[in-house]
Copies of this chain bind each other. A is one copy, B any other.
Amino acid sequence: MITVTAYNTERAYCQTIFDVGELATILSTWPTVWIQVTELEKPEVLKLITETFNIHQLALEDVLTKRQRAKIEQYGEIFFIIVHELSNGNEINSRQLCFFLGKNYVVSFQFEELQSLKQVSERIGSNSGAIRSQGADYLASAILDGIIDTYFPILEDLGEKLEDLEDAILEDPSRKVIGDIHQVKRQLLTVRRTIWPTREVLNTLLRDASHNLSGESRLHLRDCYDHAVELIDLTETYRELGADLMDVYLSSISNRMNEVMKVLTIMASIFAPPTLIAAIYGMNFNPAISPYNMPELNWYFGYPLVLITMLLASLAVVVFLWWKGWLGAMGKRSNKY
């Protein structure tokens, strides 16, 4: 399936064609032509297109290989560009777009439907902005702009996730958080791997294609490039925030363990002395044999005195722990941190 969009300042023509032979006529009639190829499985169609536009075998191989790195290559006067549209879901989806930028045409190849291309099509159809009055170079810059615009919501989303995680860590560092931080960091790696080479593509295009670009296209591409730099900036900032959150999380776990240990120590310390005392007076020494053998058992106030002693022993421990400043830990609910 090949969709042809041709336009000049006055009107636009958009049609799905099945015969590649028609392309020659269209190309010679219209000042700017955009050919979208969305069915990459038919080798005979690809062969015809390859011949029509004089596409090199290596470029065609790149077109047919998924998960390529964004790149730009020059074949004579034709620029071959690979970029990716990102869309959000459980994981970040990356959809590859390859296109050739010739003197008066753009030939684009895609495996799946791309939102950004649809919007460019609509802009041509509705004649919004300057796109109809400009050539193929402007069309290419509009496509690249559309691609880059899909990165912003992804990063905004990741930024919000990081903020949520930050709150979660400081309030209640549960097990789940660590997996979430890791996922955000992995997604940032994906975004970064997409944006860095895209920036290079824009830079190379601005530098190498400069004499083929109209003034307007150049300004537009420079704007795209600025956006790419801004996105990289944001990605790196988020990556640092993510790394920092991991540290905060680790210290939160340690803090929590500290508290658990304190409670254990407090419980063990408070109950150990009275338990020993009680055990002592549970011994069966024979008081009848000597006055030294547990005479306390026969004292009038023996039992109350021992209870008071126990209480004092526990109190001594409590005072000691309070002096060390540990008792605060027991008076807090864990969902407060």
Contact = CB atoms under 8 A, between A and B. Distances in A.
B286 A284 contact: no
Interface string A248-274: 111111111110111111011101111
Interface residues of A, number: 96
Contacts of A297: 283-286
Interface in A220-262: 220, 222-223, 226, 229-230, 233, 237, 240-241, 244-258, 260-262
Contact of A226 (B69, B226, B264, B284): B69
A321 B263 CA distance: 10
A139 to B, nearest CB: 17
Contacts of A69: 226, 229-230, 233
Copies of this chain present:
5
Interface in A272-316: 272-276, 278-286, 289-290, 292-294, 296-304, 306-307, 310
A335 B325 contact: yes
A247 B181 CA distance: 11
| Residue of A237, A273, A302 with most partner-chain B CB within 10 A | A302
A303 B298 contact: no
A244 B284 contact: no
Contacts of A223: 58, 62
A20 interface: no
Contacts of A279: 275, 278-279, 282
Contacts of A244: 182, 185-186, 246
